Structure 1
Amino acid sequence: MELSRHWEKVELIGDIFAARTGHTMVSDNSFIWLFGGTDGVTRKNDIFRFDIVSELWQGIIPEGPPPSPRSGSQAVIIDNIIYFFGGYTKKNGDYFNDLYAFNTLNSEWSCIQFQPSDYVPSKRTDHTLCSYKSLFYLFAGYNGSTRFNDIQVYNPEEKTWKEINTNNPPETRFGHTAVTYKDKMIIFGGWNGHNTLNDMWTFSYTTKQWNKLLSTGYVYPRYRHSAVIYGSSMFIFGGVNKEQLRFDDLVEFNIHESHYTKLTAQGACPSARTFHKACMVDNCMYIVGGFDGLRKNDVYRINLQEDSPEDDLETNPLAVTKDVEEDLLCWKEIKFTGKTYSARTGHTSVQIACKIYVFGGTDETTRRNDLHCYDMMSNCWSQVETQGMVPTPRSGAKGVACGNSFYLFGGYTRKDGVYYNDLYRFDTASGVWTKLFCTGEAPSIRTDHTAVLYENAIYIFGGYDGKTRFNDLKACKLENFEWVALPEVGVQPLPRFGHTAVVYNHSMYVFGGWDGHETLEDLYQYSFTTNIWYELRRTLGIKPSPRYRHSCVVFNGSLFIFGGVDKSQKRFNDLHEFNIQHKEWSFKNTGGEIPSQRTFHTALAHENCMFILGGFDGKRQNDLYVIKLLCEDSDIFSRTSSSISSLYDLEDNYSGDAVCQELTKQNFILKQQEKELRKRLEVEKKRNFCKSCGEKPINTVLLECAHFVLCESCAKSLKNCFICKKDIVKIVVTYTSL
């Protein structure tokens, strides 16, 4: 049962601080201490305290030299001493890595001095500080050009900094939050330079190990939000996302159950805001200042004393019930509530926020055009009542999610029946279907194609119309609903259907399918920046066996492929990973409640989980499985982000300039194209140089083996071909025409 809490606005009495953002704030349970920030005119280095009992604000006139004016500094309190580290003056200004101590008993500042030979963390802002016992820990942040994911520890007694070396840290970020719970630091969200995040990690202060948390429920990605710890829960408020949408929601993360719950709160609720601060005093969470379109100096509090609802296995299907081997991925069948869709194949599934939508397909009686929704937070299925131009019943259609809508293309009624090339949009907010009439030449009628979303365009590849298999690629631009044919450049895949396609960074990856004669096991990459196809032949590890009507999701730089069927109609329930950076395949050892061997199902990735829905294992199914994914690449989170813009990095750019953003984006794409073409050119150059000396062009054919791998000088120095070891009988020098 969800409990309602009550927000209260606290009247400002006493010395009122200027409305601001980027301030820092801590509590010693008697006072709330506030330092610095920016009021939009200048940076501040003033310090105020709020008396919890009298509710009176007081401006402090301290002793000793204070830190220089700044925003984005972070603070932690240990034994009546508040430690302040870092911050900045403005986006292209000065960043700091100085450390100041403020004694709350005598209101005295002191700068902690370090020798040139002493280790000190690099300059940064929007990092986090957390205390544990008598130490405090610094994580991540930003210095105007680089985002960090390092972790440092400061010992106040020894006055020394030390960097902690860890494996598999979270990806680089700033504007996240961090709290201490027992012997762990818990971090949430932030901005990685390309996307706002909603991942949750723990760092063990004792083992110095990171662990990404498996969770249920949902919270929107965000940064520059606030978070506090109370009892066994982390409470998250506000923040802003990539599109600059600010939040006013209060979300509880139950640490024991790893479950998010959006809380209902009454009373005088704070406005949607970001770059504010929060702290806990007694049972209350205090929110101070921030930006809601204007800078604020208001104060709100909410009593969190109500007990958090306990989740059992029915409401929290991903809860861990027993220990499993660390290298064993564990499947779990979700025991949901509500009325689900009928058992079927050929349906399509999309995920929007914390909900999964399932449309159409074929059950034991007919083709369907019904729409069902699974709510991850309530673990409940329901049928969606829709209006408007509802698509006709069909199977094999493909959908993609974009914002609060999803788009549906193609499908068919039966093998010798009607095939479609229509495009529909469903608005989840209004519940209305709209048939879209687009300009340009649409893809021909088809089913079992793939549809992916990249840069506000839907890309359709491959498919089948009952007679012909396709390998064309077309895109529909959603800003004007225009179909565009993409150039056929590079090593294009064979015509096929029943394949999979996913997007990672600026490429689409296509695996497997059926070409009319054989099931396939090939893997192709299509670059959206250069519009070139590449076949990924030189891969490590063992590929999955040939298959079609399997499923594939992308997670943290890897493709995960499950199930499918081969030419002999053998069905699979194996799980394979392809690491994109290392170009390496690996078979994943799985346990738990493994799904049956199946095909014609669907799969989705949400946070660090892969969901499997329905399909055919000898009979049609409507079950739901989940597995927590792990990647073999321990350095995956330290990869460079492919950001196309830093316009949202700091508070000075809240409004942004649309023209500037578009120019930045186009500049980035051009640089990416240049980088990729240079890389391909280097590969081509190496391909044409002697495989022995690597310095001269290949210009000889060796007889009788006919290998074309050496320059004339190297060929004359050898008696045997170093490829096949056969005797060199004759050398034929070749020439190229200009």
Structure 2
Amino acid sequence: MEVSCMPEELLEHILSYLSVVRELQTAAQVCQLWRKICVSIFRHKHNSFLEQALKGNFVWRQCGRTGPARSNHFVAKHMKPRISAQRLSIPAPRSFHHAAFHGQSIYVYGGENNETTGSSYFNDMFKFDVLSQMWEKVSTSGTPPTPRSKVSVTRLRDTLIVSGGCVSARMRSSIRPAEIVHQDVHFYNIEKRLWYKGGTLLTSRFYHESICLENSGRITLVLTGGLTSTVEMSDSVEVCDLKMDCDGFFSISECRKIPFPRQRMFHSQAKINERTLLVYGGMNQDPENLSDHLIRTDACLIKFDESLSNCELVDIAVHGSDAYNGLYPAFVSDFARVKDSLIFFQRSGYIKQKLSSDGRPYPNFYQADTERKPTGDEIYRQDYYHTFILNFEGVLENTSVSWLPVTKNPPLLAPRYSVFHRTVLVGDCIYVFGGTVLDQRTKVPKSSNNLYKINVRRGNLR
């Protein structure tokens, strides 16, 4: 029987065995019918992923390494395995880096390695092929950004846009005052492996978020939140118009600021459509003690007009704040988006509402609840990844988002937590790379280059 003569149900069953990363996308280009079937398969896989995610049915697996994952302590020198070329191509341990997915590879850029004597900064580019499960250090040309961390990276077609970032030398309280804060914008063409500088921002910033909007033939880079060179919260949304030349290279043609009184950093930012952004949570300075930072639990929409020139801010409600019994993710800036949900894999902690000196509560401002201690099995499980799911389906009509409860939390197969890692959605699974972990022997935080692949179990767990 010819493929073209097969019943649609049988064809859908056959195509469902194809890889979501590459093969299903290729099959979608065959004809209109195949495209319709492939879109249906992709939607079904994401629905299945969310359904199992709410049950906590995750399967964590460490990947991207050759040989034993643990270091070979107390082993004779001549018995240690040789270092292979693949081992040398694995990224160095790092935190505050960025990652993006394109084609069939995860691209990792920048970051820093937290050492006891200082920090090492990176401007290298690595890619992880999800089909071959191999790392490669990418040889690039052109003018790359200087080494830095806390940058923001967003993808526009086959180009990565790197904005801002900083270099700091010492630790003070929970936030590092930056000695050098960058305001340049660099572009990396993935296909040509070429770096080039494409413009400069009006304000230097780090700990910010960026995203690209395309509407009516206009391309705009939008940056929200973060800290400036004076280590103060940014009070504006920066909008940069992009132009493309005949060779497919982008550059900034014009930048402008729009007031953004809802200052924050470590926040979530998701694109609802080509004119609307969702901004959730983050951290802000304590009104009574500017050296301390509080947790924000509010959300708003940034709605642009048709020309992407002006915008309005719309506050929205947040429901289901008690879904995790007082627990809250350590940071909400890192997530994987699955359909209309943001999935966070984070260390968790108890929070309580911030009270002013006269006992009045600050709306939407919370702080760590150090008096509340975990009990029972939570004592053992508190140092592992927890799962948090924020759903924004119908946010434009309902002007609200909601936290969804997860049955098994933390997941039974989750490893120990890290912070400042990066989470990337790849087809119907999620990858988590790097971050700062707690050394179980010395109890000292250190950077990691662990890469985890997260699948869900379709079916019942025993």
Is TM more than 0.5 here? yes
1:637: which partner in 2?
none
1:519: which partner in 2?
295
1:633: which partner in 2?
none
1:179: which partner in 2?
11
1:457: which partner in 2?
220
Q: Measure how far apart 1:486 and its partner are.
A: 5.6
Q: Distance in 1 between matches of 2:416 and 2:26?
A: 34
> CA 1:515/1:586 → structure 2, altered by over 3 Å: closer, same or farther?
same
1:504: which partner in 2?
272
Q: Which of the residues 322, 340, 355 maps onto 2:105?
A: 355
Query: SS in structure 2 opposite 1:551?
Result: coil
> CA 1:494/1:408 → structure 2, altered by over 3 Å: closer, same or farther?
same
1:383: which partner in 2?
137
> CA 1:498/1:325 → structure 2, altered by over 3 Å: closer, same or farther?
closer
Q: 1:211-259 deviations in whole A, cap 9, x for unaligned?
A: xx985666536635169xxxxxxxx9x99x99xxxxxxxxxxxxxxx9x
2:357: which partner in 1?
none
Q: Which of the residues 391, 397, 402 maps onto 1:584?
A: 402
> CA 1:542/1:214 → structure 2, altered by over 3 Å: closer, same or farther?
farther
Count of aligned pairs = 341
Matched letter for residue 458 of structure 1: L
Query: SS in structure 2 opposite 1:548?
Result: coil
Q: Which of the residues 95, 100, 104 maps onto 1:345?
A: 95
Q: Measure how far apart 1:462 and its partner are.
A: 0.7
Q: Distance in 1 between matches of 2:297 and 2:383?
A: 15
Q: Select the structure that is richer in helix.
A: 2
Q: Measure how far apart 1:529 and its partner are.
A: 4.6
> CA 1:534/1:218 → structure 2, altered by over 3 Å: closer, same or farther?
farther
2:188: which partner in 1?
426
Q: Tell me, yes or no, if structure 1 residue 624 matches structure 2 residue 451.
A: yes
Q: Which of the residues 423, 427, 430 maps onto 1:607?
A: 427
1:575: which partner in 2?
387
> CA 1:484/1:550 → structure 2, altered by over 3 Å: closer, same or farther?
closer
Matched letter for residue 542 of structure 1: D
Matched letter for residue 525 of structure 1: L
> CA 1:437/1:419 → structure 2, altered by over 3 Å: closer, same or farther?
same
Q: Distance in 1 between matches of 2:190 and 2:59?
A: 30
Q: Distance in 1 between matches of 2:29 and 2:418?
A: 44
Q: Distance in 1 between matches of 2:183 and 2:420?
A: 20
Structure 1 residues 551-570: aligned runs within 5 Å: 551-563=334-346, 568=368
Q: Distance in 2 between matches of 1:361 and 1:353?
A: 23
Q: 1:129-149 deviations in whole A, cap 9, x for unaligned?
A: 34xxxxxx5xxxxxxxxxxxx
Matched letter for residue 121 of structure 2: R
> CA 1:218/1:586 → structure 2, altered by over 3 Å: closer, same or farther?
same
> CA 1:575/1:356 → structure 2, altered by over 3 Å: closer, same or farther?
same
> CA 1:609/1:413 → structure 2, altered by over 3 Å: closer, same or farther?
same
Q: Distance in 1 between matches of 2:196 and 2:158?
A: 14
Q: Which of the residues 397, 403, 416 maps onto 2:151?
A: 397
Q: Distance in 2 between matches of 1:513 and 1:483?
A: 28
Matched letter for residue 459 of structure 1: V
Q: Distance in 2 between matches of 1:608 and 1:493?
A: 37
Q: Distance in 1 between matches of 2:332 and 2:53?
A: 31
Maintained 8 Å contact 1:551/1:601: yes
- Unaligned 5+ segments in structure 1 are 1-25, 33-73, 77-128, 131-136, 138-177, 188-199, 203-212, 228-235, 243-257, 259-323, 631-738
Maintained 8 Å contact 2:208/2:225: yes
Q: Distance in 1 between matches of 2:190 and 2:156?
A: 11
Q: Measure how far apart 1:452 and its partner are.
A: 1.4
Maintained 8 Å contact 1:410/1:446: yes
Q: Measure how far apart 1:513 and its partner are.
A: 1.6
Matched letter for residue 189 of structure 2: D
Q: Which moved more, 1:597-606 or 1:475-484?
A: 475-484
Q: Tell me, yes or no, if structure 1 residue 481 matches structure 2 residue 209.
A: no
Greater Rg, structure 1 or structure 2?
1
Q: Distance in 1 between matches of 2:384 and 2:236?
A: 28
> CA 1:380/1:558 → structure 2, altered by over 3 Å: closer, same or farther?
same
Q: Normalized against structure 2, the TM-score is what?
A: 0.64
Give the CA RMSD over aligned residues: 3.7
Maintained 8 Å contact 2:220/2:242: yes
Q: Which of the residues 399, 407, 413 maps onto 2:161?
A: 407
Matched letter for residue 417 of structure 2: Q
Q: Measure how far apart 1:334 and its partner are.
A: 3.0
Query: SS in structure 2 opposite 1:469?
Result: coil
Q: Tell me, yes or no, if structure 1 residue 437 matches structure 2 residue 199.
A: yes
Q: 1:377-406 deviations in whole A, cap 9, x for unaligned?
A: 110111111121111110101111122221
Maintained 8 Å contact 1:394/1:411: yes
Query: SS in structure 2 opposite 1:523?
Result: strand
Q: Distance in 2 between matches of 1:511 and 1:571?
A: 25
Q: Measure how far apart 1:553 and its partner are.
A: 2.5
> CA 1:571/1:533 → structure 2, altered by over 3 Å: closer, same or farther?
farther
Q: Distance in 2 between matches of 1:577 and 1:411?
A: 28
1:327: which partner in 2?
55
Matched letter for residue 626 of structure 1: K
> CA 1:355/1:487 → structure 2, altered by over 3 Å: closer, same or farther?
same
> CA 1:563/1:326 → structure 2, altered by over 3 Å: closer, same or farther?
closer
> CA 1:435/1:629 → structure 2, altered by over 3 Å: closer, same or farther?
farther
> CA 1:377/1:448 → structure 2, altered by over 3 Å: closer, same or farther?
same
Q: Measure how far apart 1:546 and its partner are.
A: 6.4
> CA 1:326/1:526 → structure 2, altered by over 3 Å: closer, same or farther?
closer
- Unaligned 5+ segments in structure 2 are 40-44, 46-51, 66-85, 169-176, 244-250, 287-293, 350-366, 371-381, 395-400, 439-445, 458-462
Maintained 8 Å contact 1:595/1:625: no
Q: Which of the residues 104, 114, 125 maps onto 1:371?
A: 125
